[in-house]
Amino acid sequence: MSDSGLRGAELARAFFTDAVSPLLSRAVPGLGYAAARLGSGSDVLGLDDARSRDHDWGCRLTLLVDAGDRDQVPRVRRLLEDELPERFGGFPVRFPVTWDSSVSHQVEVATVADFAASRLGPDPTQGMGVLDWLSVTGQSVLEVIAGPVFADRTRTLAPARALLAWYPPDVERYVLAAGWQRLCQLMPFLGRTAESGDELGSRLLSAGLADDVVSLAFTLSRRWAPYPKWRGTVFRSLPVAARLGPLLGDVAAAPGWRDREDALATACEVLLDLQRERGYPAPAAAVIPFFSRPYRTVDGAVHDGLLAGITDQDVARLPLVGSIEQWADSTDVLASPGRRAALRAAYRAWATDG
């Protein structure tokens, strides 16, 4: 196998077809399993390159079974450990990764439920409640749904991936409204800080507001956003990015605050147009004057209209903080399913204390 320009997903497919599948067919011929390249790694998103090969890249595969075949998981692990070759296509089959320094094969074997919960926190094979949706991150969902599936004889993987394709409508409205409110709350400070002589503060706010626009663009495009390493790269694939990209460059980097505010205001109108296309309510304009001051902000009617259409009372009783990614930015929280799950208690408390 020539490794010139070889992508990780291509290697995973060949590794499964030529090395793993024959072992399973011989040893456990009746097993209903799925084989895929899921989980962590740039290759799951199809974004790996030569630089990606310096760690956690190679003969990686995900083998999943339904819950009823849980007892087969240790058997399959032992089979692979005992019988996989030392090398495949010129690449080592056993190698260390950043989370495990032992030299072992990197075929993850699990039930669909256990694998999905290890990324998300909640188990999507049992359904997803409102707080489950709000406590997952785009990256965690992509680790379950973005990678290629090479074979699937399970009953649960395809339905779980289909369920995770996007938020339920009322959760989507809530997340969108929270995104608009963030812009409404912070946009006027872009000019106020600059006029007060705090140019650095104004530029920092501008960059943060550009990031909020990107978040809304993903949500209005109904696409999960990956973690920051690939966020800008994947943003460029959104249909709306052609209109927003040049504007966001000015929001983040134009020399004068009025130019940055102009670009931000225009970007907000682009987003509001997309919201109208989605069939959601939208006022005539996204941006209005900020009281009598010479700054602008997002009209509160934008998020109020979204909230007015929410009928799910579990969503309606929540304060407008949005998904966990809209109010927490610690990598050590967002990358940990257990820590994210623990924060569902905060949503419950907010819902009951008003």
pLDDT, averaged per 10 consecutive residues of the chain (354 residues), comes to 80 98 96 97 94 93 98 97 96 95 95 98 97 98 98 98 98 98 97 96 97 98 97 97 97 96 98 97 96 96 97 96 96 96 93 77
Task: Give the DSSP per-residue string, 222-272.
Answer: T-----HHHHHHHHTTSTTHHHHHHHHHHHHH-SSHHHHHHHHHHHHHHHH
Phi, psi for 138 (deg, rounded to 5): -60, -40
**What is the model's pLDDT at position 5?**
82
Q: Report the distance separating Cα 178 and Cα 296, nearest Å.
A: 18
Residue type, 340: R
Cα–Cα distance list, 220 to 96, 156, 228, 325 (Å): 40, 28, 19, 16
| Pairwise CA distance, residues 237 & 298, whole Å | 26
Cα 224 to Cα 30: distance, rounded to the nearest angstrom: 35
φ, ψ for residue 45 (rounded to 5)?
-90, 0
Distance of CA 268 to the CA centre of its chain: 22
Show the tokens assigned to 241. 């990015």
Q: Which of 139, 134, 135 shows the shortest CA–CA distance to 172? A: 134
Can you give the pLDDT at residue 117? 97
Residue with tokens 């949500």: 219
DSSP 122: S
The whole-number pLDDT of residue 32 equals: 97
Q: What is the dihedral angle through the alpha carbons of 167, 61, 73, 336, rounded to the nearest 10 degrees?
A: -50
pLDDT given at position 1? 55
Give me the amino acid identity at 224: W
Going by their DSSP bridges, the two strands 100-111 and 60-65 should be labelled as parallel
Q: Name the burial class of residue 332, with classes exposed (0-12), middle (13-18) and buried (19+) by CB atoms within 10 angstroms of its CB.
A: exposed
Q: Residues 6 or more apart from 220 whose CB is under 8 A from it?
A: 176, 240, 271, 274, 275, 278
Distance (Å) of CA 341 to CA 39, 118, 334 = 19, 11, 10
Calpha distance 6→299 (Å, rounded): 49
pLDDT for the residue numbered 183: 98
Tell me the residue type at 281. Answer: P
Helix (H, G, I), strand (E, B) or coil at 328: coil
Q: How far apart are CA 273 and CA 346, in angstroms?
A: 34
Q: What is the pLDDT of residue 68?
A: 96
Q: If we measure between CA atoms, which residue out of 34, 19, 246, 252 comes closest to residue 153?
A: 34
| Tokens 């009322």 sit on residue | 170
Give how far Cα 13 sits from Cα of 21, 119, 148, 193, 218, Å.
10, 22, 9, 53, 29
Backbone angles phi, psi at 63, to 5 degrees: -115, 125
